[in-house]
Structure 1
Amino acid sequence: MRKPSFIREFLSHAGQVGSIIPSSPFLTRKMLPKTIPWHKMRQIAELGPGTGVFTQSIQQQMPAHSQLYLFEANANFREMLARRFPSCYMLGDALQLGEVVSASGRPFDLIVSGLPFANFTETIRNRIFDAIHESLTPNGIFVAFQYTLLLRPQFQTHFSMIDIGYTWLNVPPAWVFKCKKRCV
């Protein structure tokens, strides 16, 4: 099987694939900075890893005892990721976060998202945001990028905002939302 291309997958599955090219190294550094307390990250999830740009960086920074779960809806990307990152657990739907927490008995310390939330209906977005919030540890971190600030109110409804950053050095340029679990 040939390696899936972002352009081909974007054209075939525009609702799932948010861009025609993978994220840049600049966006990767903005999403996954050295300031994340990596030594405390025992259970990590990545939603919408695509070709694994963030996955590679996560694996380089996470402790050896950590578990990394990849949630990718696109079957072609999922197959490629399974070959490229055999030590990761592979699932098809971000709404399965709670199932992993139940099965492992441990919530996630870090959830990283490349999901194109703007492509989803408000109902689906809220279901995913709820699943993320419920699956995080009390001090858990949620990091996501988007190509617009229009969804900022939905992020703020579900999470305490830590930081909103921006990088021009990505195609297209992207906003990075670094959030903490809102404890009620």
Structure 2
Amino acid sequence: MAGFFAGYGAFFRQFREQFETTGAIAPSSRFLAAAMTRFLASRAAGAAPVRVLEIGPGTGPVTDCIVRQLRPGDVFDLVELNGEFVQILQHRFEAEPAWSAVHSQCRIVQMPIQQFVADSPYDFVISGLPLNNFPAALVREIAEAYFRLLRAGGVLSYFEYMYVRPVRKLLTLGAERRRIVEIDDIMAGHCRRSRISRDSIWINLPPAWVQHLRKND
């Protein structure tokens, strides 16, 4: 419980200081975390080991679900840009039993995801990045990185807060509206081509959709 409040406090502090890259006032709820990891959790018993990439884990609410689903031989990489969040994640891998049990299978990398290069593609890419806060050109780069890092047949899961882009398109003007429209076009295009399901998570602050996309080539 102390770890939860420490993580919540750090998240709120980073929201105030670095809203553009934090993007929420609270960590993801356990319901959102469960939805983000449901394809990983649905693996058949005895399935081959998998490679998992989490992008923008923050203080680790989704990470906590992932580490509990790892099996022997799985590989789990985390890419996080925020230095304070990296320190929190490192501490959790050292201090929390469920995390430390798989520490040898995990790696934290501090860098922008568009600069990250992997030695092999991933079976699951799970992203908590606040895409609506970024310039449209950066969103395009990030989306390209998602699919570059995903193996053929692999699943990308990411969330977005409900109705944010439609509301912003109605309430904003000029360059800001053009930015939101372009982001919407970029991500809607990927969803049209690759989406396999969408979950609605109402018990979250704010409520969110989780988009699940499969790489087809």
Q: TM-score range by the shorter chain?
A: 0.7 to 0.9
Q: Which residue of 2 aligns with 1:36?
A: 42
Q: Which residue of 2 aligns with 1:157?
A: 189
Q: Which residue of 2 aligns with 1:168?
A: 202
Contact 1:41–1:109 (CA under 8 A) maintained in structure 2: no
2:108 to 77, 90, 107: 90
**C-alpha separation in 2, matches of 1:162 and 1:46:** 19
Matched, 1:77 2:77: no
Aligned with 2:203: secondary structure? coil
Matched, 1:115 2:149: no
Matched, 1:128 2:181: no
Please, what TM-score do these two structures have when normalized by structure 1? 0.87
Aligned with 1:85: secondary structure? helix
**C-alpha separation in 1, matches of 2:121 and 2:24:** 30
After TM superposition, give the deviation of residue 96 of structure 1 in Å.
3.4
After TM superposition, give the deviation of residue 152 of structure 1 in Å.
5.6
Q: Which residue of 1 aligns with 2:176?
A: none
Q: How many residues align?
A: 177
Aligned with 2:212: secondary structure? strand
Residues 1:83 and 1:109: Cα distance change in structure 2 (over 3 Å): same
The alignment-based identity, stated in percent, is 31
- Map Cα deviations across residues 98-128 of structure 1 (whole Å, 9 max, x no partner): x12xxx2x21100001100001111101101
Amino acid at match of 1:113: S
Q: Which residue of 2 aligns with 1:51?
A: 59
Please list every run of 5 or more consecutive structure 1 residues that lacks an aligned counterpart in the other structure: none
Please, what TM-score do these two structures have when normalized by structure 2? 0.75
CA RMSD of superposed structures (Å)? 2.0
Contact 1:52–1:81 (CA under 8 A) maintained in structure 2: yes
Please list every run of 5 or more consecutive structure 2 residues that lacks an aligned counterpart in the other structure: 1-5, 95-102, 166-182
Q: Which residue of 2 aligns with 1:15?
A: 20
Please state which structure has a larger fraction of its residues in helix.
2
Please state which structure has a larger fraction of its residues in strand.
1
